[in-house]
Structures are given as structure tokens and as C-alpha cells.
Homo-oligomer: A and B are copies of this chain.
């Protein structure tokens, strides 16, 4: 039963993720989720008792994580820093362009809460990204692949651009070429013969 329950919970979260992707956070009602899942009103309450609870569960669900896996694999292999950075950017690009993403719902949700830096998963993720990029750049500089006087600054710049692209993708529209162009601009700045 617990098995079945867990599966149903997962099913609900899967459907809810779609709903949040489409409608953001605040616009989603329990009724929306009920209808997306095609279950009864009361049935949903057996698993979750508010949209917030569902949303947080969706967020904390392990994602498909091809990305992290891929990154991990790359990090353990003997890929060059450039390869790895490219890989990282590829994942970011995927996230930026993903149709069904929780980006805006997260913005809505975390903008309302005023979480301290520690409690804010969005921030943690952001800072983790900076850390990764900085390390990759430093490795690349050491290996002679990159030229960069301020790896930390460059990493931050990259991540803010990614952030800007994410939100732009949802609000003003950004196509794949534009994403490539922006990321390439930064990458080229790191290249020995770059601008």
C-alpha cells in the first residue's frame, strides 16, 4: 500500500509540476491539480494539504538529473576544462529553453517569502553554479586553455547572464540562437584569442 501510495504521490507531483510550469505558483489552485490528476477533491488532500506543500514537494523532488550526472561523469573523466564548461553551459541552456520549467513559479514563490540566504534554495543553487564555473575557469587558466584575470567575477557574470536569460526566455522570449550567442560571447572572452 505504501508502495502504491508513493507511486500516486509521485504521479500527483508529476502532474502538478506541469501545472506549475504552465500557470506559475499563485494561479494554481487545488482544483487545478485535482483536475490535472483526474482524482477526487478529497483524494488530493490525502497527500497534500495546500498548493504550497505540493510546490515544495515538486521542487525537492530529484529532477531527471541528466545534467548533474553528466557533469559528474565529466569531472571524473579526463575532460579539459573547456569541455567541461561547455557541458555545463549546455545544461544551463537546456534549462533556459525548457518549456516546462518551474523558473517563474519559483520566482513567484520565493519573491513572496522573504527567506534568509541560508533557507533559500534558489540562492544556494545560484551560488553553487558560480562555484562550479569559477573552479572550471581556474582549472582552464592553469591548463593554459583560458585567459582570465578574475575567474570569480567572470563566473558571476556568467551566472547572472544565465539568470537573465532564464527570465527573459519566459517573459520576452529568447530563442536557441540567442542563448548560444550570449554564452558564446562569454566563452570567447576566456579564449586566448578572444575579445
Point out residues on A near B: beta carbons under 8 Å. Answer: 23-24, 26-27, 104, 106-108, 110-112, 117, 120, 122-123, 126, 148-150, 153-154, 156-157, 159-168, 170-173, 181-182, 185-186, 189, 195
Contact = CB atoms under 8 A, between A and B. Distances in A.
A195 B151 CA distance: 10
A161 B157 contact: yes
Where chain A touches its partner, the secondary structure class is helix
15 contacts: A27-B112, A106-B171, A107-B107, A107-B170, A108-B108, A111-B171, A120-B171, A120-B172, A122-B171, A149-B195, A153-B181, A156-B182, A157-B157, A157-B185, A160-B165
A24 B111 contact: yes
A54 B157 CA distance: 36
> What's the number of copies of this chain in the assembled complex?
4
Contacts of A110: 171-172
